[in-house]
Copies of this chain bind each other. A is one copy, B any other.
């Protein structure tokens, strides 16, 4: 018998915890509180999900989500939180990512007894690897294609996010290549629009990147956002490949897990996984899922790079959550090479480098910065140099301001941010 799929949830309920967990297990497998014909003890034994652990946590005095139904004879004004581990029989699911997702997070969020329910983590049995080997390129393959080793890859995003023509984009890319960037990406909003058709953008941008490659030996990695209908995504991929491009980008939630998987079967290039829309699934502490779980599903689908936000970001996510996400991306799913490259983005600059390295203890990451590069007083090349210097300092355990004394680009970067 195959190993079960183990899912860990955070729940909040007024019902007895054991009963509440049984409702979850029943809804997502065979068996509910109401026995139906055909639901034999043998069937329940083989196909019923099992509750492995219930760990009571704090109680709260108000429900986190509206609409929950109290027990019939409850007069309690407390809502109990708990961590619950449920084992789903592999035989219910089979080797299907979409069925796995349905089982882990189907009707659960709507179940009457719960004023809060969040998927925290999932343990996926090794048998899935035979069909879903994970990222095709991952960290090692990305480094190989970008020619960047032993340090973080420094990148940026084309801005304005929409509105530039292919030629204007290529012009900006020339500046960014010359500035020494390792990685450039389209914005998540820029896909294949009338004002910047993907094919024209690829041609214009790759002419610049290939030219820079011939001149300098450095092949800058550009993540072209191929997000579209599936046939178009495949065609977009082929266009990128044909012009010597080395990365494709997919808005994972906008296309969905099965389309991402289809692209991963087709691709000869690393997939840069953007998580636009993720906030809807994660913003509430008692609803949706943790990125720790989500990133496993996306790696199963084939994502090589995974956005994790960044420390002290412009969004609402805590630093703890960002670091937990990045660590999870760098933890093997089935084997060492199936790790994905975490992408730090959103208001990142020289200021967050030391803390990022301290928390992650790894240089296997993409570090994307915008303003700190383009607005550096000595120009974009100095902006990139300042970021490289900040990472050098962090790696050598030298204080940022001390290191800045004899590194002018870093010094001017810190002065610029101090003046803001």
List residues of A whose CB falls within 8 A of some B CB. Answer: 28-31, 34, 36-39, 43-44, 46-47, 65-69, 90-94, 96-99, 101-103, 105-112, 114, 159-164, 168, 172, 188-189, 191-195, 227-233, 251, 253-262, 276-281, 283-285, 287-289, 309, 314-318, 370-371, 374
Contact = CB atoms under 8 A, between A and B. Distances in A.
Contacts of A160: 30-31, 36, 38-39, 43, 47
A233 to B, nearest CB: 8
A86 B102 CA distance: 33
Contacts of A67: 283, 315-318
Contacts of A284: 65, 284, 287
B96 A261 contact: no
A195 B91 contact: yes
A66 B259 contact: no
A66 B105 CA distance: 23
A285 B64 CA distance: 11
B262 A163 contact: no
A315 B112 contact: yes
Contacts of A106: 188-189, 251, 254, 276-277
Contacts of A258: 228-230, 233, 254-256, 258-259
Nearest to A118: B280
A299 to B, nearest CB: 16
Contact of A279 (B31, B97, B110, B276): B110
A91 B278 contact: no
